[in-house]
Amino acid sequence: MQYRTHHCNELRLADAGKKVRLSGWAENIREVGGNLAFVVLRDFYGSTQLVAEDEKILKTFLDMNKETVISVTGTVRERSSKNPKMDTGDIEVVPDSVEILGKCRYNALPFQIQRSREADESLRLKYRYLDLRNPAVKQNIVLRCNVVSALRQAMNAHHFLEITTPILTASSPEGARDYLVPARKHPGMFYALPQAPQQFKQLLMTSGFDRYFQIAPCFRDEDARGDRSPGEFYQLDMEMAFASQEDVFAVLEDVLPPIFAEYGLYNRASEAPFRRIPYLEAMETYGSDKPDLRIDLTAEDVTDLLGDCGFGPFLNQRVKAVRVTNFTATRKQIDKLCADTEVVSGNKAYWFRLDEQGELTGGIAKFLQERKERIAQTLDLKPGTFVALSCGSLGAAQKTAGVLIKKLGELCPDHMDREKYEFCWIVDFPMYEIGEESGQLEFCHNPFSMPNGGLEILEKAERGEVDPLDITAFQYDLVCNGVELSSGAVRNHDPEIMIKAFEMVRLGEEDVKAKFPAMYNAFCYGAPPHAGIAPGVDRMVMLLAGEESIREVIAFPMNKNAQDIMMGAPGRVEDRQLEELHIRIAEDTESDKL
pLDDT per residue, tens digit, the chain (594 aa), is 899 999 999 999 999 999 999 999 999 999 988 789 999 999 999 999 999 999 999 999 999 999 999 999 999 999 999 999 999 999 999 999 999 999 999 999 999 999 999 999 999 999 999 999 999 999 999 999 999 999 999 999 999 999 999 999 998 765 678 999 999 999 999 999 999 999 999 999 999 999 999 999 999 988 777 667 788 999 999 999 999 999 999 999 999 999 999 999 998 999 999 999 999 999 999 999 999 999 999 999 999 999 999 999 999 999 999 999 999 999 999 999 999 999 999 999 999 999 999 999 999 999 999 999 999 999 999 999 999 999 999 999 999 999 999 999 999 999 999 999 999 999 999 999 998 888 899 998 788 899 999 999 999 999 999 999 999 999 999 999 999 999 999 999 999 999 999 999 998 889 888 888 888 999 999 999 999 999 999 999 999 999 999 999 999 999 989 999 999 999 999 999 999 999 988 876 555 444
What pLDDT does residue 339 have? 97
Any idea what the Cα angle at residue 536 is, between residues 534 and 207, rounded to 5°?
Answer: 25
Any idea what the Cα angle at residue 582 is, between residues 578 and 586, rounded to 5°?
Answer: 70
CB contact at 8 A, 46 and 88: yes
- Compute the distance between CA of residue 38 and CA of residue 52 in angstroms, rounded to an integer: 6
Alpha helices in 287-352 (DSSP H): 303-306, 331-345
Entry field: residues in the chain = 594
DSSP secondary structure string, 200-256? HHHHHHHTT--EEEEEEEEEEB---BTTB-SEEEEEEEEEEES--HHHHHHHHHHHH
What pLDDT does residue 317 have? 96
CB contact at 8 A, 428 and 452: yes
Question: Cα dist. 318→314, 343, 508 in Å?
Answer: 7, 20, 39
Number of Cβ within 10 Å of residue 538's Cβ equals: 21
CB contact at 8 A, 178 and 203: no
What pLDDT does residue 365 have? 95
CA-CA-CA-CA torsion for 416, 417, 419, 421, nearest 10 degrees?
A: -100
What pLDDT does residue 437 have? 82
What pLDDT does residue 13 have? 96
What pLDDT does residue 590 have? 56
Domains of the chain: 13-102 (2.40.50.140), 136-263+534-576 (3.30.930.10), 295-416 (3.30.1360.30), 430-472+494-527 (no CATH)
CB contact at 8 A, 318 and 334: no
Find, among 22, 34, 136, the residue nearest to 72 by Cα: 22
- Compute the distance between CA of residue 337 and CA of residue 299 in angstroms, rounded to an integer: 16
DSSP secondary structure string, 181-205? EE-TTSTT-EEEE-S-SHHHHHHHH
What pLDDT does residue 5 have? 97
What pLDDT does residue 369 have? 94
CB contact at 8 A, 218 and 199: no
Tally the C-alpha atoms within 13 A of residue 593's C-alpha that lie toward its C-beta. Answer: 2
